[in-house]
Amino acid sequence: MNEFGALALGAVGLLNRIVVTGILITAFALIIYIGLYNRRSRIARSFAILLGCIIGTFLMELFSQLSIGDVTFTWQRLQWIGIALVPAASLDLSDTLLRATGDISPTRKIGAKLGYVGGCLVFLLVLLTDLIAEPGVSVDRLPHLTPGPFFFPFTLLYFACAAWATFNVIEARRRSLTSTSKRRMTYFAIAFAAPMLSMFPYLLPTGWPDAFPLILPWLAVLLVNMGVGASMTFMGYTVAYFGAGAPDRVIKRRLVKYLIRGPLLAALVIAAIVISACSSELPLRIITGRASGTFRSSKACVSASMVRRASPKETRRHSRAGPRRCASQTASGVSVAQRRRNAGRWRS
């Protein structure tokens, strides 16, 4: 049973790494798409900043999963580059959505700028001091940092910004005029809160009790990461229509083709490489090694028997064939010709 639990835990961890890699590829691909087709839209540029926060968080998380020892906690501190800035990025994105509907508020704009300044300050505090996150707890395959004195005030500000940004998105949906824009803003509002809620470090204040199986938090992380990937794709679908000078059907077809040929194909290739690399640990010699050696030895034996059973005519023909004859046949042909010349000399 312990072996099965360890195998299941390893499989969940491997699948989680593949999902995180897919999130990184999709986020980077959406940033490239925005740069190609929506770079003039302020909403698209704000969404690109949010994608950058997602990339920073999940990239450092992937590095921490692949690291061993105290280096893991260094990557987890660097992971706060996205955690500290995602509330400000979300608030800025919601403000640009409301501005697109005609609701202009200097308070929201100032709040977004203060959020960026506060996020940079929080990241520096986490990276250089122990005021927000202290040295971590090394749990078996589940390491995490511990909360510092200022962690709980940061938590209040984090969820306050998340609630404010979510309210702004709902208000932007309400102010939409056409049924098509309302439908797209519904998709956006449903997926909007997922990155903020998923990127918060819940293990810092609570940890993980030893009484529960270790596979449960990894399953939760896997499901949450899958939700982040889906929500990011839905938000990208909505943002693709802002600032695009093309009909809706052209935008939809172009975005779907781009996602299928780009991030989806790349994620499948990486998944295949990772899975094949893990399966290479199987005893491949039992499957291929003995068969290939038998084939090579049998081929050599057959060619040797054919040379030994060759008739004198075949030997002379091969000896006159020039560069096409092999070494063994050439030696046989020369020896036959030499014996014939010796026999003629003896007769004379």
pLDDT at 284: 41
pLDDT at 47: 94
| CA 237/CA 30 separation, integer angstroms | 10
Percent of the chain with pLDDT over 70: 74
CB-based contact 33:236 (threshold 8 Å): yes
pLDDT at 263: 85
pLDDT at 279: 64
Q: Is the pLDDT of residue 253 over 80?
A: yes
DSSP 172-235: HHHT--SHHHHHHHHHHHHHHHHHHHHHS-THHHH---TTS-THHHHHHHHHHHHHHHHHHHHH
| CA 138/CA 73 separation, integer angstroms | 9
145 in helix, strand or coil? strand
Vertex 239: Cα angle to 235 and 243 (nearest 5): 180
CB-based contact 141:214 (threshold 8 Å): yes
- Computed over every residue of the chain, the mean pLDDT equals 79
Q: Is the pLDDT of residue 51 over 90?
A: yes
Of 122-136, 247-261, 273-287, where does mean pLDDT reach its minimum? 273-287
